[in-house]
Amino acid sequence: MTEVELVNVFTHMGRGGNPCPIVIDASSLQAEGMQSVAERFGHESGFVLPSPGLDSDYVFRFWVPRHEMEMCGHATIGALWVLATKGRLAGEQVRIETRSGSVTGYVDRAGSGDPSVEISQPVGKVVDLSRADEEDVLSTLKLSRRDLLDLPIQNAVTSRVKTLIPMKGVRELNALVPDPSPIEACCGRIGSTGLYPYAIDHQAERRFEARQFPKSSGYPEDAATGIAAAALAFGLLKNELVERNSKQITIMQGRAMGALSEIQVRLGFADSRPVGCLLGGSVTRAEQHVL
């Protein structure tokens, strides 16, 4: 018997978000069993296992219907939220081992409301694409340079490489129609795990909008992608679209899917040098399943 908690992560005003199956006691599941959960629900899924040593509190694994992932931001946040609401959390600050490295989770249980969860991500690396790779991306999305801001297309990474595409506006962003096969091929050529077109919504308020077209997850679009939003935050910093401070950056995603979602990122600095970020958002419980 496997208990699966289905939650929505990065919700906006209690709606939207990315549906995520969570198993907080996955000790009895082998890899095939984890993948079958992801296949059954059709979403990125998170699995909590005990840590084998003293260096971490938990081991988290992540699966999409087609393969295992090194890291999944919304599944990490969702798993910590479920652990906290069930009284199973080791503490308010926990260390998690993932296949992409160590992640620190911060859970605030202040007041009687739902727990607030943020997770750490390392400092991002942002690299401009070559002219040939830019043309590849534009062709794949059926775009021209006129549809973009006067900024480069970039590969950015905190945990997984995402391709940042600076659209001229929110309307143009949400008019894009993804075609999964060419996107998968393009991502393979440029070394990316997903195309992440974005647009400025309200620059003074540090609010942006984005869409995620994953390379090979088994579905054409994500409603909310925390790892991509973290990568985007460092792209915004490099492109001078946000000032060098730790004020919240808000990234809206999922509007074109009818599942508007809200992702929050706070950049961290040491002597004005970026050293990482915190990624967070709201979580709501959907339903429980026993498989």
Considering only CA atoms, which of 151, 148, 167, 242 is closest in space to residue 204? 242
Radius of gyration of the chain (CA): 18
53 Cβ contact list (under 8 Å, min separation 6): none
The pLDDT of residue 60 is 98
Q: Rounded CA gap, 169 and 262, in Å?
A: 18
Q: Rounded CA gap, 290 and 25, in Å?
A: 12
The pLDDT of residue 112 is 59
The pLDDT of residue 111 is 66
Q: Is the pTM of this model over 0.85?
A: yes
117 Cβ contact list (under 8 Å, min separation 6): 77, 80, 81, 84, 105, 106, 107, 108, 280, 283
The pLDDT of residue 150 is 98
Longest dimension (CA), the chain: 55
Cα 58 to chain centroid, rounded: 20
Kindly list the distances between the CA atom of residue 20 and the CA atoms of 74, 79, 148, 185, in Å, as whole numbers in the listed order: 8, 9, 32, 26
Considering only CA atoms, which of 99, 107, 94, 25 is closest in space to residue 62? 99
Identify the burial level of 232 via C-beta atoms within 10 angstroms of its C-beta, where 0-12 means exposed, 13-18 middle and 19 or more buried. Answer: buried
The pLDDT of residue 110 is 72
Cα 268 to chain centroid, rounded: 18
Q: Rounded CA gap, 285 and 291, in Å?
A: 18
Here the tokens at position 80 are 């910590």
Tens of pLDDT, residue by residue, the chain (291 residues): 899 999 999 999 999 999 999 999 999 999 999 999 999 999 999 999 999 988 999 999 999 988 999 999 999 999 999 999 999 998 899 999 999 999 999 999 876 578 999 999 999 999 999 999 999 999 999 999 999 999 999 999 999 999 999 999 999 999 999 999 999 999 999 999 999 999 999 999 999 999 999 998 778 999 999 999 999 999 999 999 999 999 999 999 999 999 999 999 999 999 999 999 999 999 999 888 888
CA atoms 154, 216, 190, 158: torsion sign: positive
